[in-house]
Amino acid sequence: MSRILITSAIPYINGIKHLGNLVGSQLPSDVYARFCRAQGHEVMHICATDEHGTPAELAAAKAGKPVAEYCAEMWKTQRDLAEGFGLAWDHFGRSSSQRNHELTQHFAGQLAEAGLIEEVSEKQVYSHADGRFLPDRYIEGTCPNCGYDSARGDQCENCTKQLDPTDLIEPRSAISGSTDLEVRETKHLYLRQSALAGDLEAWIDSKKDWPILTTSIAKKWLKDGDGLQDRGITRDLDWGIPVKKGTEDWPGMEGKVFYVWFDAPIEYIAATAEWADAHSEPDSAWQRWWRTDLGAEDVRYVQFMGKDNVPFHTLSFPATILGSGEPWKLVDYIKSFNYLNYQGGQFSTSKGRGVFMDQALEILPADYWRWWLLSNAPETSDAEFTWENFQTGVNKDLADVLGNFASRITKFCRSKFGESVPEGGEYGETELAVIAELEKRFTAYQKHMGAIEIRKAAAELRAIWVIGNEYLQSSAPWAVFKENPAQAAAITRFALNLAALYATISEPFIPFAAADLRRSLRSRSEWPASMEAALGALPAGHGFEVPDNLFTKITDDQREEWAARFAGAR
């Protein structure tokens, strides 16, 4: 079996994330990791919080807390919410960790030695009202490219255009709102990405299987204007990783820290090292995932992220890796996602518009959200969350199809044969035809999962559930029982085995309900080698319990109440 390294985009520490953030990276990476583990692969699934830079300082100031204290609290909050959604990381790290300090400073030293870091005197915005330089996200204004009036000084969230603070129209301080700004000279370090543009382009061109969304964004950045630009990797901030060349001080860079975009992706490596530390493993345990000279040459590395993160992971982070001259593992496949919009607009933290992760778990179990988000994942275009579609998806797919099937067959068996799989009767042509159809659907399901085609995989999984419902409806063991109890027993035994199959193969999408159904049926979780073998996993005499109702339908009243509650300020 293969070794698969999976990383999700690292969420900012500055608050609880909304459903769009969740489906844009973390949730799909979890589905894929669960599938790979079920297939018997050795998996390392990594995520972390991105704790440095302007968002952390601004959020901490707003909360009235020291930034280190704020980040520690929010890391725990984000970790707990991830667990609530069933996100099964091997390790959920922190970019403020000592490991990331050491690795970031190490990479900076290697890049400097290779001549790929340049000291640049530049003009930067200084706020008289705040008494400090304002790096990137401390400045807001109107995007010169699309006119969005809340663009940040590093990138426009609306059009994803890379920006410098001085590009903004009518800039203002994100701290005080002051427009009393002045451009002053300061000195910073730049990564000479332009010197690596040819290597990066050749590497990207070699990735023939990448999604169009991923490669198109990367090539746009390579080709736009004068091509790939050098990028500053330091900032005038207090909170962050101090600028050093490895373990040595960097003259002229006293009091500066590395820019968050530089250190955050390195946290993927650092978090794996944190995992080793947490498990008292030697360095070789994490290095075998990342160093191609120490075992990582046979690792398949897959990243998940929203489209706004693609430039950093196709160009900037690979530039760091390649430029170091060391044998670090480069990503093999980048699965990128478009945006999930909310009720005809964008999610908005400031306006309270849309559903955030903590709110979602307050009103419904995680599997309801997991299923709808994944079956509507924004893979090929932006997707739209509406309460009507959410209600329909939950009620028809989860309650009417899967939940109804599990409830009907277990309750029928208990009423006629007791709480054990009945013996008697034989499988006939109907059951063989169902097995053949299941084989076809299951093959397609596994193919789509392996190709990380999330929506297509969800559609095949639902079709597999439908097969069970249709079989039960057409075979009607409740009617057959009157004339031929033995045949009714065979139908019931087959359907109970279908339920056990569903519990196993549905686990990547709806792990909590799958586990509940598996416990009730007392079935094992081995991924099926074939449908024929899987549908004999529960033999006659095997005991079970009727499960609690797996899913409850969303009522019209609930839908209307939630739509009003999460509409946000107008």
Annotated binding site: 143, 146, 156, 159, 349
Q: Which residues are annotated as a binding site for Zn(2+)?
A: 143, 146, 156, 159
Q: Are 397 and 467 in contact (CB under 8 A)?
A: no
Selection from 444, 535, 550, 523 nearest residue 498 by Cα = 535
Selection from 511, 507, 497 nearest residue 405 by Cα = 497
With helix as H, strand as E and coil as C, how does 200-260 read? Answer: HHHHHHCCCCCCHHHHHHHHHHHHCCCCCCCEECEECCCCCCECEECCEECCCCCCCEECH
Alpha-carbon distance 50 to 218, whole Å? 22
Alpha-carbon distance 11 to 47, whole Å? 8
Strand-pair partners of 302: 6, 333
Length of the chain: 570
Q: Is residue 496 packed enough to be buried (19+ CB in 10 Å), middle (13-18) or exposed (0-12)?
A: buried
Helix (H, G, I), strand (E, B) or coil at 5: strand
Q: Are 234 and 243 in contact (CB under 8 A)?
A: yes
Q: Order across the sheet with 117-127: list the strands.
A: 132-133, 117-127, 181-191, 231-232
Q: Which residues are annotated as a binding site for ATP?
A: 349
